Amino acid sequence: MKANKKLGQFFTDKKIANIMVKWVTQNSPETLLDPAVGAGVFLKAADKKIKKYACEIDDNIIKNFALYNMDWELFENDYLLQNFPFKFDAVVCNPPYNKFQQIKNRSEYIKILKEKYNVSLSGYSNLCVYFLIKSINELNTNGRCCYLVPYEFLNTGYGEKIKEYFLKTGVVDTILKFNSGLKLFDDAITTSCILFIENKKHKGINFLCIDSLNDIENFNLDKQKKTENNVFTDYQKLKSEEKWLKYFFDYKSNNIYFNQYNDDFVPFSAIAQVKRGIATGNNHFFTLNSSLINQYHLSSEVCLPCICKSPDVSDLFFTSDTFNELLNKDKKIYLFNGANAVTNSDFNYIKYGEENNVDKSYLTSHRNPWFAIENKEPSPIWISVFSRNKLKIIRNKTSVKNLTTFHGIHFKKNVSEEMINMMFCYLITPAAQNMLYMNKREYGNGLDKFEPNDLNNAYIINLNKIKESEKKEILNIYSELQLNQNTEKYINELNNIFLSYIKF
């Protein structure tokens, strides 16, 4: 049978239905209701001894019931308008999720909910919320109810009323969230959670997360509640106007929990893009020191200041003084950029490169002209590509560029200088590095490597969340760091500040 989207027909996976039915019938209920029965996946999964009831509005589905060998009493009616002369021991439902604006009878529904249950919902609500409130009110004391719904309501405006209702009644035991990678339904519905409700007052809500359906057949709610996938949150702490998705910890690594709905942590890419440095295709030819520049009489136009080797930089700050020191030591700190050639000597150097087949390497032969250096902006923070236990982080205070020995951190346009300095202060701390290290690639021999995207996808703390007073303190330490040789003391101080923002 083809699903009728207008009636919110999305049919439940049998394995999911089994979990829900198993839980609502755990205490051997006498009666069980499915308010939106569809093809009856829930009721079929329930024990024959239970007296079953169902509602269904769709004539097509009802006509087909004869085929299903149904063992339930069917109310061929709109559930929201159906009056039952008794309450139920258990309710299980995958309700229609239509937006309320699309519903013809909505003023009638609003009236019923207000009059019968004293709940006023806005016109922007969702039909599933009406189903849910009615079902909760139709439960006997200690009766159980399980609803499969999209989890958006936990974070949206229209969800506020239902959350308010949950807080008032305390009936929710667990919200089981399926991580977004798990697509349980077809295109229309992307997120889903199961609400486990019992008609009594609970102390708090279990925010439980699942990211694999592998073991779904052996799923046991009581056992799951005891695992680290569960976050028990006291009702008294919860507020209806708050977003509740943040209570789920859905990304765990090395004892640090991140939550994509909680902006305490953000991916690196939220404020900056980590990009690899300049690749030349032949460092022997392209990197220059002053002796080579003098030897080949190269003009200043073709000499692009660039840090070529990571060991050349040992301090936290790279300044024009550092550059001059390297220059005096005759270190290779320039790149030959043939695209700017002006003098005969510059062109002779290009010819010299061709005579030595520099133009034939993979990179140079794919570049036009082969002797032009790729155009990369200098970046204010460098981060070493290879490391051993500790990432080398350099605050570049010059417009000197970098070869691939470092990745460059390129901040988004709206990121202030202060924020860049804060980010630098953060990155040099063990607190930050431990988090970044979760995304490292082992390179053998204790050598670790980071590709730019390993860092872009790594999590950092949300620097916007740092308190004003601590921001000041961090920036003061930043100034001290620039003046002082004894950096360890300051890094420790920074580490203590940032650690307080990380939950271990």
11 sits near ligand SAM (criterion: CB under 6 A):
yes
User: Judged by CB under 6 A, which stretch of 36-44, 151-159, 164-172, 193-201 contacts ligand SAM?
Assistant: 36-44
Measured from the CB atom, the residue of 101 and 399 that comes closer to ligand SAM is 101
Report how far residue 474's alpha carbon sits from residue 468's, in angstroms, rounded to the nearest whole number: 10
| Dmax (CA) of the chain | 101
The residue type at 138: E
Binding mask 57-76 for ligand SAM (x = CB under 6 A): xx--x---------------
**Alpha helices (runs of H) in 370-486, residue ranges in sequence order:** 417-427, 430-437, 452-456, 468-483
Site size toward ligand SAM, by CB under 6 A: 23
Contact with ligand SAM (CB under 6 A) among 21, 32, 37, 172? 37
Among 38, 143, 159, 452, binds ligand SAM (CB under 6 A): 38
96 binds ligand SAM (CB under 6 A): yes
- Strands 386-387 and 303-307 come out as unpaired
- Residue nearer to ligand SAM on the CB measure, 8 or 29: 8
Q: How far is the CB of 120 from ligand SAM (least distance, A)?
A: 20
If binding is defined by CB under 6 A, does position 195 make contact with ligand SAM?
A: no
Rounded to an integer, what distance in angstroms lies between the CA atom of residue 236 and that of residue 238?
Answer: 6
**Side chain identity, residue 404:** T
Pairwise CA distance, residues 47 & 503, whole Å: 45
Q: Smallest distance, Å, CB 194 to ligand SAM?
A: 12
User: What is the rounded CA–CA span in Å between residue 422 and residue 464?
Assistant: 10
Q: Which of 23, 46, 91, 94 binds ligand SAM (CB under 6 A)?
A: 94
Distance, CA of 15 to chain centre: 27
Q: Which strand (E) or helix (H) includes residue 359?
A: none
CB–CB of 161/129 below 8 Å? yes
SS3 35: coil
- DSSP E strands, 323-456: 334-336, 381-384, 386-387, 393-396, 401-402, 406-411, 441-442, 448-449
Q: What amino acid occupies position 465?
A: K
Binding to ligand SAM by residue 456, rule CB under 6 A?
no
Nearest to ligand SAM of 60, 492 (CB atom): 60
- Smallest gap from Cβ 49 to ligand SAM, in A, equals 21
Contact between 12 and ligand SAM by CB under 6 A: the answer reads: yes
Report the residue number whose CB is nearest to ligand SAM. 38
Q: Is 78 in the site for ligand SAM (CB under 6 A)?
A: yes
Residues found near ligand SAM in the complex (CB under 6 A): 7-12, 34, 36-39, 41-42, 55-58, 61, 78-80, 94, 96
